[in-house]
């Protein structure tokens, strides 16, 4: 190739400053690795910061307060970014346990810590691993919100499929039993108030009316109550079955529901008839037993009394009265008759019609009871 003489003239075009700036510029090939203060860089551009994927949070396993936890986060610059996170190292001995949340201990070993907001209004979320130590709650998500002391800062714990709420956590009554404070309404609101249960209707149910007293209410009216002496009703009691009193051997009051009329067995009284036990039906009274003012008792039937066994009935009452066989006694020059119980003089004889009685006739008074005649007796 032939050589040619070339004359070059160099001219200063002001690139010296550019060269100086380039010397301090980031190298594209470093992919940000040559940024001197990465945290400040992220802060300046408003970027989120993943602080560490495995850091000893607190350095040991001792208990921590929320205030101490926040101070540690602040020392790590967590509140300088709109979003900041780290993950605790998987080392129980090297990570603290927050114990003052009020909703469970937070074991920070293996936990993911997320911080959102600035120091004046912050939200911290901690997600714990599937196993913990020091009584920490595993598989849980704790959230701390602090928008200032006047806005009720504090912790809460979210329930999830691994940490289902108990009945006490949500204010429910457990199926194993428990205490319910206040009135209960089933299918409706409760209008009875106090310690009561209403069923379907807001003023119909049961209510505690005192020590050992369970009141029964219908439409807000007390219709009865139960105490340790039994059931007390202030209204009619209707039943399709029987009413039985006693234990083992019972007295029953029943109805077959096929009578043409309604019957009433009633106890009543007044000044003239102190105590009356009476059976009535729709057409009037049938019978009653009565205690009189003098203490005696009367029993009356409004109709005919018919014994089931006449032979038995006949053997207990006087069926007939008669005079028995005739007897004669000589009076004149004879003994006559002395006073004998059950006998009556039925005749005096004087055959010659003089002034002297010849004789006397007598007969016994007899009563028939059953099939037997008996002489009456004298008092």
CB burial string 83-122: b at 16+ within 10 A, e below: ebbbbbbeebebbbbbbebeebbbbbbbbbbbbbbeeeeb
Flag whether 168 is in a domain: no
Would you give the distance in Å from CA 360 to the centre of its chain?
Answer: 94
Flag whether 32 is in a domain: no
How high is the pLDDT of residue 244?
86
How high is the pLDDT of residue 46?
54
Task: Pick the more confident residue, 40 or 90.
Answer: 90
The token duo for 313 is: 């009935």
CA-to-CA dists, residue 89 to 53, 72, 134, 194, 296, angstroms: 8, 15, 16, 55, 101
In the structure, what pLDDT confidence band is assigned to residue 48 with cuts at 50, 70 and 90? low
Average pLDDT over residues 37-45: 62
How high is the pLDDT of residue 47?
59
How high is the pLDDT of residue 307?
76
Would you give the distance in Å from CA 89 to the centre of its chain?
Answer: 51
Is 106 found in the same domain as 66? yes
Q: Are 205 and 192 in contact (CB under 8 A)?
A: yes
Give DSSP secondary structure letters for 291-333.
E-TTS-EEEEESS----S-HHHHHTTSEEEEEE---EEEE-TT
Flag whether 370 is in a domain: yes
For residues 69 and 118, give the distance between their C-alpha atoms in angstroms, rounded to a whole number. 15
For residues 186 and 30, give the distance between their C-alpha atoms in angstroms, rounded to a whole number. 71
The token duo for 134 is: 């020091």
Is 206 found in the same domain as 104? no
How high is the pLDDT of residue 199?
97
Is 140 found in the same domain as 71? yes
- As a whole-number percent, the residues of the chain with pLDDT over 70 amount to 87
Tens digit of each residue's pLDDT (9 = 90 or more) over 364-374:
999 998 888 99
Task: Pick the more confident residue, 36 or 376.
Answer: 376
Farthest CA pair distance, the chain: 222
Question: Residue 210's domain spans which residues?
Answer: 184-233
Tens digit of each residue's pLDDT (9 = 90 or more) over 220-251:
999 999 999 999 999 998 888 888 888 888 88
Is 120 found in the same domain as 48? yes
Would you give the distance in Å from CA 208 to the centre of its chain?
Answer: 11
For residues 309 and 339, give the distance between their C-alpha atoms in angstroms, rounded to a whole number. 40
Flag whether 85 is in a domain: yes
Is 188 found in the same domain as 137? no
**Is residue 176 scored above 90 in pLDDT?**
no
Q: Are 69 and 96 in contact (CB under 8 A)?
A: yes
Give DSSP secondary structure letters for 22-82.
HHTSPPGGGTTTT-S-HHHHHHHHT--EEEEEEE-SBSSSSEE-HHHHHHHHHHTTGGGSS
**Is residue 33 scored above 70 in pLDDT?**
no
CA-to-CA dists, residue 370 to 320, 321, 325, 345, angstroms: 10, 12, 20, 27
Secondary element (H or E) of residue 374: strand 372-375
**Is residue 6 scored above 90 in pLDDT?**
no
Flag whether 283 is in a domain: yes
Residue where one domain finishes, among candidates 248, 281, 305? 305
Is 328 found in the same domain as 219? no
Map 154-166 to HEC letters. EEEEECCCCCCCC
In the structure, what pLDDT confidence band is assigned to residue 44 with cuts at 50, 70 and 90? low
| Phi, psi dihedrals of residue 244, rounded to the nearest 5° | -120, 135
Flag whether 9 is in a domain: no
Is 196 found in the same domain as 144? no
Is 66 found in the same domain as 98? yes
Torsion of CA 58, 61, 62, 67, to 10 degrees: 40
Flag whether 246 is in a domain: no
Flag whether 280 is in a domain: yes
Average pLDDT over residues 129-152: 95
Using DSSP's 3-state secondary structure scheme, residue 80 falls into helix
Using DSSP's 3-state secondary structure scheme, residue 130 falls into coil
Is 56 found in the same domain as 117? yes
Tens digit of each residue's pLDDT (9 = 90 or more) over 54-89:
999 999 999 999 999 999 999 999 998 889 999 999
Beta bridge partners of 276: 268, 290
Tens digit of each residue's pLDDT (9 = 90 or more) over 292-322:
999 999 999 999 888 777 777 777 788 899 9
How high is the pLDDT of residue 12?
56
| Phi, psi dihedrals of residue 352, rounded to the nearest 5° | -100, 10
Residue where one domain finishes, among candidates 121, 142, 158? 158
How high is the pLDDT of residue 370?
80
Is 191 found in the same domain as 113? no
Q: Which residue has the tokens 């807001």?
A: 202
Cβ of 144: how many Cβ atoms within 10 Å?
20
| Stated pTM of the model | 0.50
Tens digit of each residue's pLDDT (9 = 90 or more) over 270-300:
999 999 999 999 999 999 999 999 999 999 9
Average pLDDT over residues 356-369: 93
How high is the pLDDT of residue 8?
53
Cβ of 73: how many Cβ atoms within 10 Å?
20
The token duo for 344 is: 């009556």
How high is the pLDDT of residue 173?
82
- As a whole-number percent, the residues of the chain with pLDDT over 90 amount to 63
Q: Which residue has the tokens 């190292």?
A: 89
Tens digit of each residue's pLDDT (9 = 90 or more) over 179-198:
888 899 999 999 999 999 99
Question: Looking at the 3D structure of the chain, how many domains does it have?
Answer: 4
**Is residue 215 scored above 60 in pLDDT?**
yes
């Amino acid at each position: 190739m032939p050589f040619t003489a070339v004359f070059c003239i160099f001219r200063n075009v002001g690139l010296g400053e550019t060269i100086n700036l380039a010397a301090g510029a980031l190298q594209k090939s470093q992919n940000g690795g040559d940024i001197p203060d990465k945290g400040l860089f992220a802060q300046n551009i408003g970027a989120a910061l993943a602080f560490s994927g495995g850091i000893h949070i607190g350095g040991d396993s001792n208990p921590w307060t929320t205030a101490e936890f926040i101070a540690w986060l602040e020392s790590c610059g967590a509140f300088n970014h709109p979003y900041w996170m780290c993950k605790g190292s998987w080392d129980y001995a090297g990570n603290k346990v927050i114990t003052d949340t009020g909703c469970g201990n937070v074991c920070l070993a293996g936990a993911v810590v997320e911080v959102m907001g600035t120091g004046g209004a912050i939200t911290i979320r901690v997600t714990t691993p599937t196993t913990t130590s020091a009584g920490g709650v595993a598989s849980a998500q704790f959230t701390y919100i602090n928008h200032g002391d006047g806005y009720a800062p504090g912790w809460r714990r979210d329930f999830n499929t691994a940490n289902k709420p108990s009945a006490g956590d949500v204010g429910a009554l457990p199926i194993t039993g428990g205490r319910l404070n206040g009135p209960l309404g089933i299918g409706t609101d409760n209008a009875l108030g106090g310690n009561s249960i209403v069923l379907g209707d807001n003023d119909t149910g049961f209510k505690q009316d005192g020590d050992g007293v369970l009141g029964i209410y219908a439409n807000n009216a007390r219709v009865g109550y139960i105490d340790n002496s039994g059931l007390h009703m202030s209204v009619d009691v209707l039943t399709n079955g029987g009413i039985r009193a006693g234990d083992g051997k019972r007295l029953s009051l029943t109805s077959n529901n096929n009578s043409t009329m309604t019957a009433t067995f009633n106890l009543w009284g007044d000044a003239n008839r102190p105590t009356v036990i009476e059976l009535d039906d729709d057409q009037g009274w049938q019978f009653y037993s009565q205690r009189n003012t003098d203490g005696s008792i009367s029993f009356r039937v409004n109709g005919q009394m018919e014994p089931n066994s006449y032979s038995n009935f006949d053997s207990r009452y006087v069926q007939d009265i008669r005079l028995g066989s005739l007897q004669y006694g000589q009076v004149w020059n004879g003994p006559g008759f002395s006073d004998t119980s059950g006998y009556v003089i039925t005749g005096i004889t004087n055959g010659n019609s003089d002034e002297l009685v010849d004789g006397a006739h007598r007969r016994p008074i007899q009563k028939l009871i059953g099939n037997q005649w008996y002489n009456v007796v004298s008092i």
